[in-house]
Amino acid sequence: MVPLNYYLILSAVIFAIGVIGVLIRRNLIVVLMSIELMLNAVNLTFIAFSRYLGSVEGQVVVFFVMAVAAAEAVIGLAIVISVFRHRQSLDPQEMQLLKW
Amino acid sequence: MVYAGAIMVLFLFVIMFLNPVDLERQRGLWWGFGTILSLMLACVLIPMFINDESPADPVAATDIFGSPEMLAKSLFNDFVLPFEIASVLLLVAIIGAVVLAKREH
C-alpha cells in the first residue's frame, strides 16, 4: 500500500501548481482552472486521510467540496462569458472598474 | 469521473465559445511577485517533504469501508444540513449562470 506521505506530497505539489497558476497567468479561464486544481488537491488530501484514519467523514466532505467546485466553475465561467462580451478581453488586469 | 468530465466539457465549451486569441502578455512585475510567493510556499513545503518520520500504520480496511452504504449513512445522518445547503447552492448556481450568460437585448 502506498504510504500516506506520498499522497500528501503529490497533493502539495498539485496545490502549489494551482497557486502559481493563479498568481502568474493572465487569462481568466486558466485562473479558474488553477482554482479547480487547488480544490482537487485538497480533495486528494481528504481522501488520503479518510483512508488512513478509517473514517468516512473525509469522503463525505469531498462530496460537498465537489458541489461547491461545480457551482464555482459554473458561476465563474458565466461571469467570464459576460465580461468577454463586454470588453473582448480575458485579462484580469484590465478589470479595474471597481478600483478606487 | 462524472464530475471531472462535466467540468472539463464546461471549460472546453467556454474556450471554444470565446475563442480568445491575443492573450498571455506576461508582465515582469507579476513574474517577480509570483516567484517570491512561490519561494515562500516552497519554504513552507520543503521541510514537510524531507521530514521522513514514518506515520503510524493505517487502520486496516474493512469490507464495508468506503462502500455506498457507509457513505450514505454518514451523509444522511450526520451531514443532512450541509447536504440540503449544497442542494440550494447548486440551484442558485444554475439560476445565476442562466441569468449571467443570457444575452441581453
Q: What is the pLDDT of residues B24-55, one digit of tens each?
A: 555 556 677 777 877 887 787 777 767 666 56
**Do A39 and A80 contact (CB within 8 A), yes or no?**
no
How confident is the prediction along chain A (100 residues), in pLDDT tens digits per residue? 677 778 888 888 898 888 888 877 777 888 888 999 999 999 999 988 888 888 888 888 998 998 898 899 888 888 888 888 877 777 777 777 777 6
What are the backbone dihedrals phi and psi of residue B101, each rounded to the nearest 5 degrees, phi first? -85, -5
Q: Of B8, B57, B79, B23, which Cα lies nearest the Cα of A84?
A: B23
Mind telling me how many Å the CA of A97 is from chain B's nearest CA?
A: 18
A54: left (phi over 0), alpha (psi -120 to 50) or beta: left
Assessment of whether the complete model's pTM goes beyond 0.90 = no
Q: Domains (ranges, CATH) in chain A? A: 26-90 (1.10.287.3510)
> Which of the four pLDDT bands, split at 50, 70 and 90, describes residue B72?
confident
pLDDT above 70 as % of chain B: 66
- Across the interface, of A20, A24, A60, the residue whose CB is closest to B71 is A60
Query: According to the 3-state scheme, what is the secondary structure of chain A?
Result: CCCHHHHHHHHHHHHHHHHHHHHHCCCHHHHHHHHHHHHHHHHHHHHHHHHHHCCCHHHHHHHHHHHHHHHHHHHHHHHHHHHHHHHCCCCHHHCCCCCC
Chain A residues whose beta carbon lies within 8 Å of the beta carbon of residue B34: 20, 23-24
- The set of cell numbers assigned to B36 is 517570491
- Across the interface, of A24, A63, A84, the residue whose CB is closest to B18 is A84
Chain A residues whose beta carbon lies within 8 Å of the beta carbon of residue B103: 85
| ipTM of this predicted structure | 0.72
